[in-house]
Amino acid sequence: MGGRLQGKHILITGAAQGIGLAMAKAFLREDAAVFLVDRDAALLAKSAKELQSIGGRLGYLPADITDAGTITTLVAQANEEIGQLNALVNNAGVNVFAEPLETTDELWNRCFDINLKGAWNCCKAVLPGLIEQGGGVILNIASTHAFTIIPHTFPYPLAKHALLGMTKSLGLEYAAHNIRVNALAPGYVSTQKVIDYWNGFADPEAAKAETMKLHPGGRIATPEEIAMAAVFMISDECPFMNATCLTIDGGLGVLQHPA
């Protein structure tokens, strides 16, 4: 015991795989208690079972973050199972990529319901408890899509821009309650979501090679590299970091164009 997250009781959404699962592992290793949420019930159960070997307090419940009522019930259950929540990581998100004029209302709603409203549903359910306890941390997993645009990915970047806006707004609104609200903006990370993105091209291997070539270091991030930053942002090592965003993209965002 004595890890960097000792005493933290953290709810993580979208935790069955990818960045969410890597954060769950890293948090448990730093002695946090974690409660995992994902809409993929079978994968969540499988991942939670694997995580149990690390030890520590772990709970999980399948749920869809777009269902505000379920999230309220779920937060009550998390408080019971792992202790009063004092941290939330809004990680669940989906790629919704289309041409602007081909974006149906259904695609638009799916994108904003999950990537923005889902995160708000969780904030709304957790914030009263944080206020009551006199403090806490919310970390929103945004993206470099929160600042820049990749053509043909509409309307996903709009939702990530808005998630960053929500981070700033809630960070200011609740600073006096000792609640820190920040965002983490990964660039490309090697998860299923990115593999699915490459598979959407006629030549997935060429698309993957193109992505790697874009990066100054010739590679993309691992989920574990994002999780390391999340540990820092949730911990008490950055008590005055609030209403801001940490970018982790290997330097891609400052590259004007390749030489």
Question: Would you tell me which residues interact with ligand NAD (CB under 6 A)?
Answer: 13-14, 16-20, 38-40, 64-66, 91-94, 114, 118, 141, 143, 186, 188-189, 191-194
Residue 174: what are its φ and ψ, rounded to 5°? -115, 10
Nearest approach, Cβ of residue 5 and ligand NAD (Å): 20
Distance CA 223, CA 189 (A): 6
Nearest approach, Cβ of residue 193 and ligand NAD (Å): 4
Q: Is 245 exposed, middle or buried (0-12, 13-18, 19+ CB in 10 A)?
A: middle
Whose structure tokens read 């790629």? 95
Nearest approach, Cβ of residue 167 and ligand NAD (Å): 13
| Residue 188 CB coordination number (10 Å) | 21
**Six-digit token string for 225:** 């590299």
Q: 60, 156, 174, 188: which is the annotated catalytic residue?
A: 156
Nearer to ligand NAD, 19 or 179 (CB): 19
Nearest approach, Cβ of residue 176 and ligand NAD (Å): 28
Q: Let me know if 156 is a catalytic residue.
A: yes
Distance CA 233, CA 134 (A): 18
Nearer to ligand NAD, 76 or 236 (CB): 76
CB contact at 8 A, 182 and 140: yes
Nearer to ligand NAD, 94 or 175 (CB): 94
Distance CA 92, CA 117 (A): 11
Nearer to ligand NAD, 7 or 216 (CB): 216
CA end-to-end span of the chain: 48
Query: Which residues are catalytic, by number?
Result: 156
